[in-house]
Structure 1
Amino acid sequence: MNPNQHFAFLDEGSKKEIRRASLKAVAIPGYQVPFASREMPIARGWGTGGLQLTLSLIGKEDVLKVIDQGSDESVNAVSIKKLVQSTTDVELTEQTEAATIIQSRHRIPEIPLTKEQILVLQVPMPEPLRHYEKKEQETKKLHAENEYSGVWLMLFEQIMKFGKTATQADHPVFVNDRYVMAPSPIPRFDNPKLHDSEALILLGAGREKKIYAVPPHTDVASLAFEDYPFTVEDFSGECCHLCGATDVFLDELIDEESGQTIFQCNDTSYCIARLNQQERKEVELADV
């Protein structure tokens, strides 16, 4: 760590302003709090909102995990880890249960989070009403009036066209029976993890200059009609070809040797942990 730079890159005034916005977001679940997004040494759209949250919250005793679409080793995840560690000297980990702060792009880890952890989600578009209302002042008014008929109409049109809701990711959710919220582009599979979460979930959009939150044990429901209930991606009958997991989000791949379709855990650290556990059991059985 360079002794001439601020701890965690941002100056103390900036970190305080971001923490104040975060506290307001926690106090009003699902509400988008504007903040003065800073210029960061990564391009906007590559996680600057989540990074600013992480840098404003992290302390010397924290342990950081960063994932990008389930991977700890993607270019985005590695770059963010290098920046945070170079300005804080904090410990890095790939183990979900060992981390105190987890910054993620497009996924919520498979291992359930605890009350000692904070999940920071990177968000490209925080406004769930933007697809049919372009003006910011109008979307604010719609939120204030609890007027979400446009979102329901969007889902209805998808059902009329495809026979089901067709959102593959970022399916809108209702938070505390009050605000409709964009959960970031997580797959539908991860939406239920937002409900009654043990961990604090903070969402940051650097380009759009918004912070919002899902506090622990908050009621979060994915928008759906009674006769067309919300469903997640179906991996029935499939399992990870490496660790055998069946109850996780799987990536569909093509085996280079056989040309056959195979499935693999999207959460790479979860898959590795299962493989290590299986190896330990095999060693224990061999020793008996």
Structure 2
Amino acid sequence: MQPQTHFALFDEGSKKEIRRAILKAVAIPGYQVPFASREMPIARGWGTGGLQITLSIIGKQDVLKVIDQGADESVNAVNIKKLVHKTTGVATTIETSEATIIQSRHRIPEVPLTEKQIMVLQVPIPEPLRWVEPSEYKTKKLHAENDYSGAWLLLFEQIMKYGKTATNADHPVLVHDRYVMAPSPIPRFDNAKMHQSDSLILLGAGREKKIYAVPPYTNVTSLAFEDHPFEVESFDGKHCHLCHATNVFMDELVNQETGEAYYQCNDTSYCLANLNEQGREVEVEVEHAR
């Protein structure tokens, strides 16, 4: 006989402990809550924090979507989806609007999320002050004292060196006018999607053993100086070469024959949905997926 596995892999005691950490994180927006990160059948650094959150909150009626850098078809996304499905039997989808739980690495979908959805982000480094202070004890003290001069200094040094902030991803944000938070390595383009979001956003770092959250309808502001306002990646004048979408985050690709650059929606399911609406069938390249 095969040994019986628990629903969603974890025993109920483990799921309750992680849910308690989630509840505390929701109650204190942007605050990093320590939790007993479990051993997982995937390596740390491959999304164990987000996966532990998903396995602890998922129910039999949920519909799961997993994306990796905008793609549903990448190795990481496919295998996480298979693991959750195998241990729960829940339905899976690539349609953002159909999902009740969306687990993601490096992106927030282009389709606006709703109050009936939960966004779970995988986080490698949850501490926004880690680049200026290696001591965990000291960063906790700085958060308690509301001292974020180190984060501001880092941005100031970038402006002095490059003439602008050089955070291509994971640009720090101020949550609920209190905690400075690492939004996970999402592009700057996605930071605004956290502000006053209809959905609950949960962030998990398995290797660092931290869970934090942005509750619905919470103010989230990207750190910026008055004379150097926050700017997102610009795609002005660009459009997806497949679905012709504009005002979305796109990948720059290169035609191997001509050497010319062209653009494509980073969110592959969004691109496919647009193509279906247009009655067109085209194979979408997943150049950005790993």
TM-score calculated relative to the size of structure 2? 0.95
Q: What is the one-letter code of the residue matched to 2:76? A: N
Aligned to 1:42: 42
Q: Which amino acid is 1:213 matched to?
A: A
- Where in structure 1 do 4 or more consecutive aligned residues deviate above 2 Å? 256-259
**Residue in structure 2 matched with residue 208 of structure 1 by the alignment:** 208
Alpha-carbon distance between aligned partners in 2 of 1:163 and 1:139, rounded to the nearest angstrom: 28
Mapping 1:43-58, distance limit 5 Å: 43-58=43-58
CA displacement at 1:257 relative to structure 2: 3.5
Instruction: Determine the structure 2 residue equivalent to 1:284.
Output: none
In 2, Cα distance between the equivalents of 1:138 and 1:204? Answer: 21
1:278 aligned onto 2:278? yes
Q: Please list the CA deviations of residues 52-75 of structure 1 after superposition, one character each: whole Å capped at 9, or x if unmatched.
A: 000000000000000000000000
Q: Tell me whether 1:246 sits opposite 2:246 in the alignment.
A: yes
Matched residues, number? 279
Which residue in the other structure is 1:59 paired with? 59
Report the CA distance between 1:278 and its aligned residue. Answer: 1.0
2:109 paired residue number: 109
Give the share of equivalent positions with the same residue, in percent.
76
Structure 2: any 5+ residue segments left out of the alignment?
A: 281-290
Within 2, Cα distance between the matches of 1:83 and 1:93?
14
Q: Which AA in structure 1 matches 2:62?
A: D
Shift of 1:167: 0.4
Report the alpha carbon displacement of residue 203 of structure 1 after superposing the two structures with TM: 0.0
Which residue matches 1:75?
A: 75
1:15 alignment partner, SS class: helix
The corresponding residue for 2:159 is 159
1:72-106: per-residue Cα shift (whole Å, max 9, x none)? 00000001001000000000000000000000000
Post-superposition offset of 1:3:
7.5
Please give the alpha-carbon distance, in whole angstroms, between the structure 1 residues aligned to 2:17 and 2:118: 19
| Corresponding position of 1:233 | 233
Instruction: List gaps (5 residues or longer) in structure 1.
Output: 281-288
Q: What's the offset of the Cα at 1:260?
A: 1.2
Give the aligned residue type for 2:12. Answer: E
Letter of the 1:251 partner, please give it: D
Give the superposition deviation at 1:233.
0.1
User: 1:217: which partner in 2?
Assistant: 217
Aligned partner of residue 191 in structure 1, secondary structure: helix
Amino acid at match of 2:111: I
Alignment map for 1:118-197 (pairs within 5 Å): 118-197=118-197
2: distance between equivalents of 1:111 and 1:94?
A: 12
> TM-score normalised to the size of structure 1?
0.96
SS of residue matched to 2:279:
helix
The residue identity in structure 2 corresponding to 1:42 is I
Residue 11 of structure 1 aligns to which amino acid in structure 2? D
How many angstroms apart in 1 are the aligned matches of 2:258 and 2:110? 29
Secondary structure of 1:168's counterpart equals coil
SS in 2 for 1:276: helix
> Partner letter of residue 15 of structure 2?
K
Report the secondary structure of 1:217's partner residue. coil
SS at match of 2:193: helix
